[in-house]
Amino acid sequence: MKIYDREGTPNAARIRIVLAEKGLEDQIEFVSVDLIRAEQKQPAFLAMNPIGKIPVLELDDGTVISESTAITEYLDNLDGNPTLTGKTPREKGLIHMMQRRVEMMVLEAIDDYFHYGTPGLGKALRPWRMPDWSGAKEWGERRGAQAVQNMPYFNDILAKKPFVAGDAFSLADISLWAALAFADAIGLPIAPELTALAAWRSKVSDIPAVKNRSGQAILPEDLARFGA
């Protein structure tokens, strides 16, 4: 199998954590996508994923699977023991609910802030950032504010439960961990009063599959290189 991604970005981190957690890393050939040159917006990449975002999984028969949730569903079910996406109907429902809440309330908002409210990944991507619209930057800034506003919701959840979707580490934790690493790197840190969220992040950062990724989370100097 091949993964088309770019180390150090939040969605690449999500899938690399899944691969490590499921013991599948050695079955993957990683193909680096040149985000700075907007390779993900060119015809060859768009033929795999019309949304123009990494990561993309390509199976040995050429089948392509994009979208982090979909790739995780595939990888997590390969061994018949879906620990990250849920075994019972109730687990599946709650994990998918919380993972989607993470995306809608935090991860997508942070991503919009990065791409529209800041210089984002630099010059080559500008044509895909609504350059014909003067309101785009304010919209991006509003999305960043929404992400910050929504962080306390997850703090409250994690003050009562050990993990985002309940008692066990799941896809929902991976999404939130990647979202917060991204937020931190682009200047939207966890507010000091959100102690349960910070404690959960520290705990998740110690899980072996995540620990191996921590050093690869987006760092400000990495972003600076991107924007160069």
With CB under 8 A as the contact rule, which of the stretches 58-66, 180-188, 207-215, 217-225 interacts with its own copies? 58-66
Based on the shown chain and the rule CB under 8 A, indicate whether residue 78 belongs to the binding site for its own copies: yes
- Which of these ranges, 24-32, 50-58, 184-192, 204-212, lies near its own copies under the rule CB under 8 A? 50-58
Q: Note whether 137 and 100 are within 8 A (CB).
A: no
SS in 3 state form for 165-180? CECCCCHHHHHHHHHH
Cβ proximity to its own copies: between 93 and 162 the closer is 93
Among 5, 73, 111, 173, binds its own copies (CB under 8 A): 73
Binding its own copies (rule: CB under 8 A), the pick from 105, 109, 151, 185 is 105
Of 23, 93, 127, 162, the one binding its own copies (CB under 8 A) is 93
Q: Which amino acid belongs to residue 63?
A: T
Q: In the set 29, 44, 50, 208, which binds its own copies (CB under 8 A)?
A: 50
Decide: is 191 part of the binding site for its own copies (CB under 8 A): no
Task: Give the tokens for residue 38.
Answer: 């907007």
Q: Closer to its own copies at the Cβ: 30 or 153?
A: 153
Burial level of 47, CB count in 10 A (0-12/13-18/19+)? Answer: exposed
Segment 144 to 173, residues that bind its own copies, using CB under 8 A: 150, 153
- List the beta bridge partners of residue 32: 5
Query: Which CA distances in Å does 191 have to 98, 171, 177, 183, 213?
Result: 21, 24, 15, 11, 23
Using CB atoms within 10 A of its CB, is residue 134 exposed (0-12), middle (13-18) or buried (19+)? exposed
Which residue in 13, 65, 110, 186 binds its own copies (CB under 8 A)? 65
CA-CA distance, 121 to 193, in Å (whole number)?
A: 31
Per CB under 8 A, residues contacting its own copies are 50-51, 57, 59, 63, 65-67, 69-71, 73-75, 77-78, 86, 88-90, 92-97, 100-101, 104-105, 130, 133, 135, 138-139, 142, 150, 153
